[in-house]
Structure 1
């Protein structure tokens, strides 16, 4: 989920965040768990089939010994073996649609490592400890904290859901059905429906599923009451969704297109994201990552219907760090060159994403609302003029905390009458629009902030790719890396 900026106001300093950063995280060497197949099956847990077999009682000639009466022999009676119940083997394959919790596919709760990348040699002189100490610290952290395993489990959920999307989503499907399929898949694989108060804070969606089409660049999700949008053969769709466990959010995105003429546009965004990941590291300056992204992105061009377009880096969105229960932690990485000297730090988690477009690269707010999020510094006690707004605030706090949510998620919880028809102009239009009265009350009082869909000029096309990375002391781990991108 991209961090919005003013296209003409590229951040020059990301300032130190007052919240503490994580320590370095470790884990097992890459590939330890890759012996498992892609669906995570372990092949263990087979039961014992005793079946009351008494072949051991036969003599060497294969004949059973002659039985004698109990009154004429002191030989003890042979106790009959009890048939043991066969143990149920854990699931070893994901279903379609995905509904098997990943905890069943990984019964030992040891999840696959992300892609391990070394830091650029230019930054190796920043090492603070010896190689032996690094290995020891990595082991200690992985044993004493669930942080890294939570992240790897969330990444596995993301991978399995998106593999299903890539295999099954086709033109002719409604965006609402696609979004609901993603949401349902994530919750099923986490084993948490999120319907009871507080459940969604344990695990669930990291933010609303984004399905932005064509010139719609980011932050669009279908909501109740909207006109159905049907995916077309000519569409370019950005699929952006997050998975969290205990507040640690995996943010990863990809682009789908069904016409090969868009291939270079998708390739540009993917290559730029990988360039950002390669450049990122401890003590690396934000400006250096931005420069690598823009240089890679704008080295591409794409021919669409006989016309050649240069691929431009979007100026109005940024990559960002991720904090506990906060998708945008405070540091931003623009996709264009800048002079920001802020450094990445050990233990930080970043969503490295890029957006490329055939349009202007400067985005405007589109119609509708994507989602809402509680401000992280909201006071504990809040008194609002509307009693119903107070009730809604309590519901949001119990179910989402500072996670971004959307109207679709409120409706799923059974929250009613948060919408009402009110007249107000939008972008100079006198058209009657639907105004979220209770949510609007929360926004006006500084309790929540809202996010609008972002779009480039009509007729343009855009693409996005994104991964979540962890800057460990000895290496960087691309947590969300898969066989697809």
Structure 2
């Protein structure tokens, strides 16, 4: 269960740490589980404070409101009939309205059985150097809508590669390992985590097995998830959930409690406001052939209501 504070973007899951959180810290909690290969993920951002119900204000409110509102827009855009290319533009506009930036490299991935990062994905922040293939969202697909927003420029950096504790098996790579420690740790990974990401802390002997991981990494048998940071002093917020694409719209299947967020920023872009006011579920036809007026799930995101 990675628990990430302030300027850290993600993948922070130390074996042990003397790091503590204090009042006012912006903390991200990112969870994932699977049952027989069917995956559900969820991430939420909170501010550490004595009363959970106390309103959040200032820049922390701006970045959390930006992430929540981007998620609400994505929930309405990632639906059957829409295209991958429809999503990034409104997200970029929303982040700018709150004086924030989408974090570079973050993707909304399709989920499949035993596959947490399917080939069909949305790059939240496209660039001339980084693009993904366009395509249409289809009924019965499952996605992990992942939004990460920063008060800074959204550019990530690795401060210390030794902090990395999360890895995933590279299924397209094979190599005959020489060291006994390497074969031991790789055997456990293949048995317990053949397709899913794992933290070193979940291995049977984390400290001893760190040595065996080195040869596995040197020969490309594992994908590392390095700990990423924004510039020191910046705040980062994340909202992630699992969404099912149904014939009449999107069903969010993972949720978490939200704190009250009071940002003074406003969204004034007409196209974005239209997206946020739209529903993410289409009403079923009434008996007698009459269509229901409007859509379900209408209304702006809670994050923008006080803007």
Find the residue that maps to 1:418 and give its secondary structure. Answer: helix
SS at match of 1:298: helix
Deviations 1:313-338 (A, max 9, x none): 11232221122222211233122356
1:418 maps to 209
* d(CA) in 1 for partners of 2:153, 2:64: 17
Structure ID, larger Rg: 1
Assess if the C-alpha contact under 8 Å between 2:27 and 2:48 holds in 1.
no
1:237 is the counterpart of 2:17: no
2:170 counterpart residue number: 375
Residue 331 of structure 1 corresponds to which residue in structure 2?
120
Counterpart position of 2:15: 223
Structure 1 residues 191-210: aligned runs within 5 Å: 209-210=1-2
* Cα distance in 1, alignment partners of residues 159 and 40 from structure 2: 26
Structure 2 residue 35 is the aligned partner of structure 1 residue 274: no
Whole-angstrom CA distance in 2 between matches of 1:236 and 1:255 = 7
Secondary structure in structure 1 of the residue aligned to 2:2: strand
Partner of 1:455: 229
Match for residue 253 of structure 1 among 26, 38, 43: 43
TM-score normalised to the size of structure 2? Answer: 0.74
Q: Is the Cα–Cα contact under 8 Å of residues 102 and 150 in structure 2 kept in the other structure?
A: yes
3-state SS, counterpart of residue 61 of structure 2: helix
**Pair 361,415 (structure 1): closer, same or farther in 2 beyond 3 Å:** closer
Partner SS, residue 208 of structure 2: coil
Match of 2:82, SS? coil
Instruction: Check 1:288–1:242 CA distance in 2 against 1; reply closer, same or farther (3 A cut).
Output: same
Computed over aligned residues only, the root mean square deviation of the Cα atoms, in angstroms, reads 2.1
Q: Which of 75, 88, 93 is residue 290 of structure 1 equivalent to?
A: 88
Equivalent residue number for residue 185 of structure 2: 392
Q: Which has the higher strand share?
A: 2
Asked if 1:341 is matched to 2:115, the reply is no
Which stretch shifts more, 335-344 or 358-367? Answer: 335-344
Which 5+ residue runs of structure 1 have no aligned equivalent?
1-208, 301-309, 420-436
Residue 476 of structure 1 corresponds to which residue in structure 2?
Answer: 250
- State the partner residue of 2:276: none
Alpha-carbon separation, structure 2, partners of 1:449 and 1:341: 25
Q: Conserved in 2, the CA contact under 8 Å of 1:371 and 1:404?
A: yes
- Which position in structure 1 is the counterpart of 2:100? 311
Q: Compared with structure 1, are the counterparts of its residues 416 and 235 closer, same or farther at alpha carbon in structure 2 (3 Å cutoff)?
A: closer
> What's the counterpart of residue 77 of structure 1?
none
How far residue 482 of structure 1 moved from its aligned partner, in angstroms, is 5.1
Q: Which residue of 1 aligns with 2:151?
A: 358
Answer yes or no: is the 8 Å Cα contact 1:291–1:337 preserved in 2.
no
1:203-262 Cα shifts (integer Å, max 9, x gaps): xxxxxx2212111111111214xx411111131111111021111111110101136332
Q: 2:238 aligns with which of 451, 459, 464?
A: 464
Task: Choose from 438, 441, 454 the match for 2:212.
Answer: 438
CA distance in 2, matches of 1:216, 1:477: 30
CA drift at 1:448: 1.1
What do the CA deviations read for 1:41-86 (whole angstroms, capped 9, x no partner)? xxxxxxxxxxxxxxxxxxxxxxxxxxxxxxxxxxxxxxxxxxxxxx
